[in-house]
Amino acid sequence: MVKAQIFQPLQFRHLIVKNRIFRSSVTGRWDNYNGSGTQARVNWENKFAKGGVGAIISSYAPVSIEGRITPNVVTIDCDERIPFWHTVGETVHRYDCKYILQLSHSGRQRDIEGIENTLTQADGIEPKPAPSSTDEADQVNGLPAIKMPTPKVKEIVQDFAKAAGRAKEANLDGIELHSSHGYLINQFLSSAINQRTDEYGGDLNNRYRFLHEIVREIRKVVGDNFHLQAKISVREFNNIIPPWQKSGNTFEEAIQICQWLEEDGVDAIHVSRGSTFPHPLLPSGPFPLRMLRYTYDTMTSSGGKASFRNVILFRYPSLWPIFQWIWSRLPRKVESRYEQPISGLKIEDEKLDEYFREHVSTEEFQNLLNKHQGTVLRDAKEIKQNLKEIPVITTGGFQQASYINAAIEGGYTDGVSMARMLVANNDLVNKFQSGMDIPERPCTYCNDCLGAYLELPMGCYNLDRFYQRSIQNLTGEERDKADREAEKARTREVMTVFDPPPKPYMPPM
């Protein structure tokens, strides 16, 4: 019975989630510039709770303005944010869905720094070097960083603790530390990034100290019974773009970090990978150049050393093969080393929508699934086997009920988290519940949503999923019409996040 494992509740030390599917963090930029939340965010989270997920992990919530990755993402940096988060929590609780707030600090890895994180110089505005464990700029955008002084480290530890207290006060169900994907905590953990020579740098013990202090101070504020999990990149693969970079922590070091977290009182590990975001291996799939051509120009003024180069590379399709080759170099190497752990679950034609199949054949989709589903599972199993009792949640490409069931049954993971698959099919868990194994118009791992994030409302942008009729034997004009209809359907779907619209605020007389 496909549903047997997926719909078993998952018991953590102090939290029970009704099934094994978590909505993984997906950032959308629809909040206010000052970090206050909007109705669109509430609507967004409501979609997934209504769609049946057991728990939602919020998109990254900055613990300070200085730690935000872009503006227009709701923060948890002050008490004024508590009522908004309370509303979000109450909204999803109506569906018996739990809400876990992801506490985050960008460190050096920002996309758009925002005016608060800039310096005004005689010759113009420049990005302020972001507090980090290194003086080296980030790999993707090249925004500047500075090895912060120790009092600043202590201050940020307290920012995390205060943010955790606010999440508890907002009656949310738990918190997740964004300690993966190259953001600040990962910058400390990583042997490839951390350049400090004090008690926060050097050997693993020292590199772990920042995270250890964050967990300890959070526990002081929220007590022992408030759910706390950590997302960890158990393989960093830091040598992505310049191959001369160090690759990062060993897998044995990652296991040790997870074991220390368990000893320190963390309730679950969310297994992920990659020392940057995005990374060629997560979210897996191509680099979304056709979308970034349209959206990345917003980074031109960011002042990042690599931003202008990227704008040029992304702008001209004739240059794309160079970038795509660089981006897929690592996956090519890694794929030959990692076999798909769960195989033999075949998709039949009739499972997929007939119009969708005109764009992506069953065979092509089967290959995509084999390549991208469960990419981190083998590592998750090893992490799980090296922990005493806390559950493991795994991210990476899941969208097939029988596969997820087999992963849990096979002891690879206790639960799975989904990001893009739920962006494509918000109600995927309800579909599983009704007996569907794979959605009729599945996510194709194209990463257009990822490319959209900088400038467009978050949603699925893959046109192949939105055709309303057959494109067989159409004249040029008819085909054009079919494309326009698909575009309209896509826009309608993306814009549902603004329904209901925000209530206008009337200032007091």
Ligand X SMILES: Cc1cc2nc3c(=O)[nH]c(=O)nc-3n(C[C@H](O)[C@H](O)[C@H](O)COP(=O)(O)O)c2cc1C
Residue ranges binding ligand X (CB under 6 A):
24-27, 59-60, 102, 178, 181, 231, 272, 282-283, 395-397, 418-421, 449-450, 453
Minimum CB distance to ligand X smaller for 255 or for 282 = 282
Binding site for ligand SF4 (CB under 6 A): 420, 423-424, 443-449, 460-462, 465
| Nearer CB in complex with ligand X: 27/275 | 27
* 433/140 Cα distance (integer angstroms): 40
Angle between helices 39-50 and 82-93 (to 10 degrees): 30
- Four-point Cα dihedral 67, 57, 460, 437, nearest 10: 160
Q: How far is the CB of 462 from ligand SF4 (least distance, A)?
A: 4
Q: Give the other-Cβ count within 10 Å of 409's Cβ.
A: 11
The residue among 407, 390, 372 whose CA lies nearest residue 14 is 390
Q: What is the CA radius of gyration of the chain?
A: 22
Between 10 and 271, whose beta carbon lies closer to ligand X? 271
CA distance 440 to 353: 5
- Half-sphere exposure (CA, 13 Å, Cβ side) for 155? 11
Which of 99, 183, 208, 445 is catalytic? The answer is: 183
Which is closer to ligand X, CB of 74 or CB of 390?
Answer: 74
The site partner of 222 among ligand X, ligand SF4, none (C-beta below 5 to 8 Å per kind) is none
The smaller minimum CB distance to ligand X, of residues 285 and 303, is found at 285
Name which of ligand X, ligand SF4, none residue 272 binds, using a CB cut-off of 5 to 8 Å depending on partner kind: ligand X
Output the smallest distance, CB 449 to ligand X, in A.
5
- State the minimum distance, in angstroms, from the CB of residue 340 to ligand X: 15
Closer by beta carbon to ligand X, 41 or else 147: 41
The closest of 48, 7, 43, 45 to 422, measured between CA atoms, is: 48
Tokens of 243: 């191959």
Question: In terms of DSSP H, where are the helices of 342-397?
Answer: 354-357, 362-372, 377-385
CA distance from start to end of the chain: 62
Residue 373 interacts with which of ligand X, ligand SF4, none, CB < 5 to 8 Å by class = none
CA of 80: how far to CAs of 64, 255, 402, in Å?
13, 38, 44
Instruction: Find the shortest distance in angstroms from Cβ 272 to ligand SF4.
Output: 17
3-state secondary structure of 176: strand
DSSP string, 71-128: SSS---SSGGGHHHHHHHHHHHHTTT-EEEEEEE--TT--S---GGGEEEETTEEEEP
User: Residue 281 CB, nearest distance to ligand SF4 (Å)?
Assistant: 15
Reply yes or no: is the peptide bond before residue 500 cis, omega within 30 of 0. Answer: yes
Residue 342: what are its φ and ψ, rounded to 5°? -125, 120
Angle between helices 150-169 and 204-222 (to 10 degrees): 40
The question of whether 355 is a catalytic residue gets the answer: no
Q: By C-beta, is 283 or 304 nearer to ligand X?
A: 283
356 binds, among ligand X, ligand SF4, none (CB under 5 to 8 A by kind): none
With CB cut-offs between 5 and 8 Å by kind, which of ligand SF4, ligand X, none does residue 25 bind?
A: ligand X
Selection from ligand X, ligand SF4, none that 26 binds (CB < 5 to 8 A by kind) is ligand X
Q: Which does 235 bind (CB under 5 to 8 A by kind): ligand X, ligand SF4, none?
A: none
Look at the block and give the residue holding tokens 């991208």: 372
CB of 421 to ligand X, least distance (A): 5
* Residue of 290, 190, 175 lying closest to 230 (CA atoms): 175
CB of 231 to ligand X, least distance (A): 5
Instruction: Report in angstroms how near the CB of residue 484 gets to ligand X at its nearest.
Output: 26
Q: Which is nearer to ligand SF4, 88 or 428 (CB)?
A: 428
DSSP of 410-477, one letter per residue?
TTS-SEEEESHHHHH-TTHHHHHHTT-SS-SS------HHHHHTTTS-SS---GGG---S--TT--HH
- Measured from the CB of residue 23, what is the shortest distance to ligand X in angstroms? 9
Please list the alpha-helical segments (H only) found in 170-230: 184-189, 204-222
- Measured N-to-C along each axis, helices 320-335 and 307-315 cross at an angle, to the nearest 10 degrees, of 100
Place of tokens 């992506």: 360
In angstroms, the Cα distances linking 308 to 113, 137, 287, 404 are: 15, 15, 17, 41
Partner from ligand SF4, ligand X, none contacting 282, C-beta within 5 to 8 A by type: ligand X
Residue with smaller CB distance to ligand SF4, 290 or 378: 290
192 contact, one of ligand SF4, ligand X, none, CB 5-8 Å limit per kind = none
Show which residues are catalytic.
Answer: 183
